[in-house]
């Protein structure tokens, strides 16, 4: 999966799946623009990539803000002159609560980051992918909203993840004539720090009680996957090895969504 000479933008690259993807992209020869709204963590990601011999630039932006994303993409072009691959990874779990408890501002924030953020990332990068003669976009969706609907109270989150997959399939046709492929990865339970920022409230009201005595991830006996498991698929989909794959969801969950 040689990405030598490719310029890649990874959003939400300060930790978890985004950071693992950026590290793997750089190790595959790409120049990687890493983006996060938290400057300290994105500078650390840049430092780690460069410490491993890779090329990186750190961008601080809020993916839900139009001006931020426009400026960030312009910075990538100003430095490297092109863009070949885009990884729309930034997202939040938001608030998980019963629908009559979930507040409008909580709903709006999840939609703004996960869905508007994906739109703005694609909106501002597609012109540069077209200028490069084509490229690849990978959207990080989830098993929630695409195969699994048992996460209590995760209505806003699941809605954004379902919508991301619909965007991917819609845009596969629109962008195909410009030589741009777009695919989705749909992770299950992955060991990242995103659960730490999830607000869970009154979930028992919305929960359907189901017990999996041997764990709900068949291939690992219930243990979560690693960020690198998802990153490997993203790098593959971004490479020329996946040149005939577009509009395709890839579930990376160890069989979790088939059971749940």
Q: What is the pLDDT of residues 130-187, one digit of tens each?
A: 999 999 999 999 999 999 998 999 999 999 999 999 999 999 999 999 999 999 999 9
Q: Exposed e or buried b for every residue in 106-123, given b needs 16+ CB within 10 A?
A: bbebbbbbbbbbbbbbbe
The confidence score (pLDDT) of residue 221 equals 84
pLDDT at residue number 203: 75
Mean pLDDT of 230-246: 97
When mean pLDDT is compared over 209-218, 219-228, 231-240, the highest value belongs to 231-240
pLDDT score of 10: 98
pLDDT in tens, 64-107: 999 999 999 999 999 999 999 999 999 999 999 999 999 999 99
Measured CA distances, 91 to 25, 111, 141, 195, 256 (Å):
20, 10, 9, 12, 21
Provide the total of helices (H) and of strands (E) in the chain, helices listed first. 9, 9
Compute the Cα dihedral for 171, 233, 89, 256 and give only its sign: positive
User: Do 119 and 40 contact (CB within 8 A), yes or no?
Assistant: no
Per-residue pLDDT tens digits for 26-61: 999 999 999 999 999 999 999 999 999 999 999 999
119 included as an active-site residue: no
Identify the active-site residue in 73, 85, 121, 157: 157
The answer to whether the Cα torsion of 51, 52, 56, 58 is positive or negative is: negative
For the chain, the domains span 7-259
CATH class of 7-259: alpha beta
Tell me, what's the pLDDT at 194? 67
Q: What is the pTM of this model?
A: 0.93
């Amino acid at each position: 999966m040689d990405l030598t000479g490719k310029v890649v933008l990874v959003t939400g690259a300060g930790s978890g799946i985004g950071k693992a993807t950026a590290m793997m992209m750089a190790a595959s020869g790409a120049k990687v623009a890493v983006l996060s709204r938290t400057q300290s963590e994105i500078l650390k990601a840049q430092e780690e990539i460069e410490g491993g011999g890779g090329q990186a630039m750190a961008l601080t932006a809020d993916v839900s803000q139009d001006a931020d994303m426009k400026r960030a993409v312009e910075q990538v072009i100003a430095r490297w002159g092109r863009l070949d691959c885009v990884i729309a990874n930034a997202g939040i779990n938001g608030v998980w609560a019963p629908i009559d408890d979930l507040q409008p501002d909580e709903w709006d924030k999840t939609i703004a980051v996960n869905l508007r953020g994906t739109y703005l990332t694609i909106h501002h990068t597609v012109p540069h992918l077209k200028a490069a003669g084509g490229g690849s976009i990978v959207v990080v969706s989830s098993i929630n909203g695409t195969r699994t609907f048992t996460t209590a109270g995760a209505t806003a989150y699941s809605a954004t993840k379902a919508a991301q997959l619909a965007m991917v399939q819609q845009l596969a046709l629109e962008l195909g004539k410009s030589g741009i492929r777009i695919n989705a990865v749909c992770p299950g339970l992955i060991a990242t720090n995103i659960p730490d920022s999830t607000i869970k409230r009154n979930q028992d009201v919305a929960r359907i009680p189901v017990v999996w005595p041997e764990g709900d991830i068949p291939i690992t006996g219930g243990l979560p996957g690693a960020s690198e498991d998802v990153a490997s698929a993203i790098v593959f989909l971004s490479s020329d090895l996946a040149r005939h794959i577009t509009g395709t969801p890839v579930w990376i969950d160890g069989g979790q969504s088939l059971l749940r």
